[in-house]
Structure 1
Amino acid sequence: MKFLKSYTGAMVVLAAVIVLSAPLGCLRSVNAQRAQVLELFAQGGQGDGGSVASDLQDRIGTAQNLLTVARRYPETDGISDLEGAIAWAQGNADPDKGAFPEADVNMGAVCAQVIAQLRAAGVSEKDAQYLYGFEAELSGAADRMSRDEYSKAADRFNRKVLGRFPAVLLRNLGAVKELALVADVND
């Protein structure tokens, strides 16, 4: 206790406070910037809900509708693949999980395969119209996602915030994760 009351003890305590306050302040600042980008993911740039999150949910909903049509044709090979892809996309619809781009791209690819199989199998005229609608909905939502402000903001955050000192240290220590970017499914 005598040490803490001495000049040397006070300097050690002061140095410890300074050393600890810098990374904690940086962490707080980086997390605040990250939260702003995540808000773009959830609410969109206009704050109206037109966002990557809503477009991703639209794509999942369309895939579920495709699954309903595909179940009318039990000879379709991709039904279980489509069920799995939908479940994976639903379970990873959060940018913090980091797998949402891959899950979404996979789901889109499986949807395209199932649509091709259904067309080859010869579906009813009404179901053929549904398939064209599903393709348009999937493509439209993917296009909106690829142009959304979230991807630019997430890329900027990953490069300019987490790529520079001292935030790069927090990233390397696992205190802050990079944000997942929307995959361009139209390439």
Structure 2
Amino acid sequence: MYNKKIAIAVMLLMIAISIPFGGYRSLNKLYNQVNRAFYQGVDGDGLGIENDLNNRIDNSYNLVTIAKKYIDADNAVIENTLDARDSLVNSKSISDKYKANLRLTEAVEELYTALGAEELKLTDQDKSYRRSLYSNLTSRNDTISHDGYNDKAAEFNNILEGFPASLISRVVGINKAELFR
């Protein structure tokens, strides 16, 4: 009788330990898959939102390079674009990257317009490059808007709200995935 009570107590202890441990492993694996989708793409092909943001960082700098030929380098429009670009470069969290990308979009719009005001001074090559860079910048934002990351993150967050994941996530410290919005 005594051994039976000990066996039941050990079994209950094992169950109590295995549920949070197993839940943590499963939820953490799902969270990492969602996180990788932001950086490596939903299909794991390297074409995630992070790739598009890096492309926007490069293209915005190239647009500034052209602008410096025709607009004073200390001009607020150029400085604002460089500051917005640096903000995106230095952003760590997904939500901070989203905010920095919005800021970069606004700054690029202003720079593109300011550079357009200098259209008569631009060489044919710089006119073409200006339009091409702007097209690339807007195209990357469009690509980002159709990326499947937010769907994966929302799906994960819905799982976390269900039972028993909601309890397990609170116990083991698994947080919701950040949405890129």
Q: Give the drift of 1:7.
A: 7.8
The correspondence for 2:62, drawn from 61, 65, 77, is 65
Q: Which residue of 1 aligns with 2:180?
A: 182
Deviates more, 1:168-177 or 1:30-39: 168-177
Change (3 A) 1:170 1:81: farther
Residue 153 (structure 2) pairs with residue 148 (structure 1): no
The correspondence for 2:52, drawn from 45, 52, 55, is 55
Q: Which residue of 2 aligns with 1:29?
A: 26
CA contact (8 A) 1:45 1:150 kept: yes
Deviates more, 1:46-55 or 1:83-92: 46-55
Aligned residue pairs, count:
176
Q: Which residue of 1 aligns with 2:89?
A: 90
Change (3 A) 1:14 1:46: closer
Q: Which residue of 2 aligns with 1:115?
A: 112
The correspondence for 1:164, drawn from 131, 156, 162, is 162
**Whole-Å Cα distance in 2 between the matches of residues 152 and 140 of structure 1?**
20
Give the TM-score normalised by structure 2. 0.79
Q: Which residue of 1 aligns with 2:97?
A: 100
Query: What one-letter code is carried by the residue in structure 2 that aligns with 1:167?
Result: A
Q: Give the drift of 1:15.
A: 4.5
Query: Mind listing any 5+ residue stretches in structure 2 that lack a counterpart?
Result: none
How well do the aligned residues superpose, as a CA RMSD in angstroms?
Answer: 2.8
Query: Mind listing any 5+ residue stretches in structure 1 that lack a counterpart?
Result: none
State the SS of the aligned residue for 1:124: coil
User: Could you list the per-position Cα deviations for residues 117-164 of structure 1 after superposition, in whole angstroms to 9, with x for gaps in the alignment?
Assistant: 2223555144332221122101111111111222211121122x2222
CA contact (8 A) 2:24 2:172 kept: no
CA contact (8 A) 2:24 2:169 kept: no
